[in-house]
């Protein structure tokens, strides 16, 4: 039986590594396009190569689960077509026994993927951001991060709840006096970013604005605070000093898992100026990020469970049928990721749990199909 296990495992690894190389290469197209753009801007080849390879850990978090599924479909489809599975069953070897070494292997892949998603990929993504900053190609519009207070500007602190391209929502800005006290607070439901890349100047055009101005002599007396509503209020941000002096800001996706968990636990400490509702939204974004990393890794185990029985039933040698089935399953799963991230601003819906729905359903279906095929 050891010889058989070795045969199945080695055969699977050959297909898996081939698929991993191919799928990873295909998914690096975006990095290749960016690398060409950097080359056109006169960036040195050494930095471009570094930028390209630092994208690979993040891509592996997606390509490893896909490759796990594709290799399982292809291997067991071929074994089924060649009647090897039927021959083994006639010798008293069940599908569970055939699949056991590969299921254990998928658990190993899951562990590797968790480590990549938790430690390597976030660090590599932040390193690429630093690389772009040092090369002078970071655009001002990318420096206004969502979900955190930015206090790098003299006399100003600004927070953006959500950013989609050049559209921002739930903006909070505090104009500060020389002592660091709040001179004026500005809140807007939405706004628009207008960047002057040459001058490194960013104008935040705010709409539907609510302005609160505390009394200069007695700022703690709320009764003396002036309240004004305005349709439009512009804020100009000069990023020259930030680009020259400050390190890139750390986004949720740049945090290692330990740092991410720490922020989840101490979100109120880190963002004391936010309201309870805004804190809940910010915390949920962190929770969704953490769950996404783990769920992507668990996809290796999940896709192995469903790939084995589907491969047996496909009865095809061609790689095309395996690729089509793989893409269909993966596409269905990643739709849930998109939905969960879109609902991160609605904590009451628990979008973090949405990430696990397709995994649980797929695992149960895979176990049932393997049992039925046995």
Domain assignment present for residue 241? The answer is yes
- Same domain, residue pair 72 and 199: no
**What local confidence, expressed as pLDDT, does residue 291 receive?**
94
- Same domain, residue pair 157 and 62: no
And the tokens for 42? 């006169």
Q: What is the rounded CA–CA span in Å between residue 137 and residue 36?
A: 13
How would you label 272-289 residue by residue, b for 16+ Cβ within 10 Å and e otherwise? eebeeebbbbbbbbbbbb
Q: What is the rounded CA–CA span in Å between residue 93 and residue 97?
A: 6
Domain tally, the chain:
2
DSSP 308-341: HHHHHHH----HHHHHHHHHHHHHHHHHHHHHHH
Domain assignment present for residue 118? The answer is yes
Domain assignment present for residue 101? The answer is yes
- Same domain, residue pair 236 and 344: no
Query: Among 245, 275, 296, which residue terminates a domain?
Result: 245
Q: What is the DSSP letter of 246?
A: S
- How many other C-beta atoms are found inside a 10 Å radius of the C-beta of residue 147? 20
Domain assignment present for residue 277? The answer is no
- Same domain, residue pair 192 and 100: no
Q: What is the rounded CA–CA span in Å between residue 156 and residue 192?
A: 18
Domain assignment present for residue 297? The answer is yes
Query: Among 197, 216, 245, which residue terminates a domain?
Result: 245
Which 3 state secondary structure label does DSSP give 216? coil
Contact 315, 80 (CB under 8 A): yes
Domain assignment present for residue 348? The answer is yes
- Same domain, residue pair 124 and 167: no
Alpha helices in the chain (DSSP H): 2-27, 29-40, 45-53, 56-81, 84-90, 95-115, 121-135, 140-143, 240-245, 257-265, 267-270, 276-314, 319-342, 351-354, 357-373
Domain assignment present for residue 275? The answer is no
- Same domain, residue pair 42 and 133: yes
Continuous segment of H or E residues that includes residue 171: strand 167-176
**What local confidence, expressed as pLDDT, does residue 333 receive?**
85
- How many other C-beta atoms are found inside a 10 Å radius of the C-beta of residue 373? 20
**What local confidence, expressed as pLDDT, does residue 180 receive?**
67
List the chain pLDDT tens, one digit each, 374 residues: 677 778 888 999 999 999 999 989 888 877 777 666 666 655 667 777 777 788 889 899 999 999 999 899 888 888 877 777 777 767 767 778 888 899 999 999 999 999 999 999 998 888 877 776 665 545 556 666 677 677 767 778 888 888 877 788 888 888 887 776 778 888 888 888 887 766 667 788 888 888 888 877 777 777 777 888 888 888 887 766 555 555 556 677 788 899 889 888 888 777 776 778 878 888 898 999 999 999 999 999 999 999 888 888 765 544 456 556 667 777 888 899 889 988 988 889 999 999 999 999 999 988 888 888 76
Domain assignment present for residue 259? The answer is no
- Same domain, residue pair 30 and 125: yes
- Same domain, residue pair 231 and 305: no
Domain membership of residue 60 as a residue range = 2-137+285-373
And the tokens for 72? 């399982």
Q: Quote the pTM value.
A: 0.71
**What local confidence, expressed as pLDDT, does residue 370 receive?**
85
- Same domain, residue pair 113 and 50: yes
């Amino acid at each position: 039986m050891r010889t058989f296990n070795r045969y199945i495992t080695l055969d699977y690894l050959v297909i898996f590594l081939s698929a991993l190389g191919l799928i990873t290469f295909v998914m690096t197209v975006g990095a290749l396009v960016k690398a060409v753009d950097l080359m056109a801007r006169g960036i040195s080849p050494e930095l471009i190569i570094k930028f390209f390879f630092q994208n690979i850990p993040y891509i592996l978090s997606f390509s490893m689960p896909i490759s796990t599924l594709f290799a399982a479909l292809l291997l067991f489809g071929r074994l089924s077509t060649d009647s090897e599975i039927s021959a083994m069953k006639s010798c008293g070897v069940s599908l569970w026994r055939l699949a056991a070494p590969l299921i254990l292997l998928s658990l190993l892949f899951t562990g590797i993927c968790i480590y990549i998603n938790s430690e390597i990929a976030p660090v590599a993504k932040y390193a690429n951001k630093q690389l772009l900053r040092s090369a002078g190609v970071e655009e001002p519009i990318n420096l206004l991060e969502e979900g955190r207070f930015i206090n790098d500007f003299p006399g100003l602190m600004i927070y953006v709840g959500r950013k989609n391209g050049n559209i921002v929502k739930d903006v909070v800005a505090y104009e500060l006096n020389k002592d660091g006290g709040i001179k004026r607070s500005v809140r807007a439901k939405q706004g628009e970013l207008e960047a002057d890349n040459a001058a490194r100047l960013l104008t935040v055009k705010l709409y539907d604005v609510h302005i609160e101005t505390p009394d200069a002599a007695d700022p703690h007396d709320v009764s003396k605070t002036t309240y004004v509503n305005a349709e439009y209020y512009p804020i100009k941000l000069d990023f020259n000093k930030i680009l020259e002096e400050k390190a890139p800001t750390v986004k949720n996706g740049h945090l290692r898992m330990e740092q991410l968990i720490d922020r989840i636990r101490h979100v109120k400490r880190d963002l004391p100026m936010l309201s309870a509702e805004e804190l809940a939204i910010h915390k949920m974004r962190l929770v969704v990020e953490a769950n996404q990393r783990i769920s992507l890794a668990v996809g290796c185990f999940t896709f192995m469970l469903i790939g084995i029985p589907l491969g047996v039933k496909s009865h095809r040698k061609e790689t095309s049928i395996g690729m089509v089935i793989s893409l269909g399953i993966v596409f269905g799963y990643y739709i849930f990721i998109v939905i969960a991230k879109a609902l991160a601003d609605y904590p009451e819906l628990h979008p973090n749990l949405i990430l696990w729905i397709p995994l649980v359903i797929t695992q149960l279906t895979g176990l049932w199909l393997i049992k039925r095929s046995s």
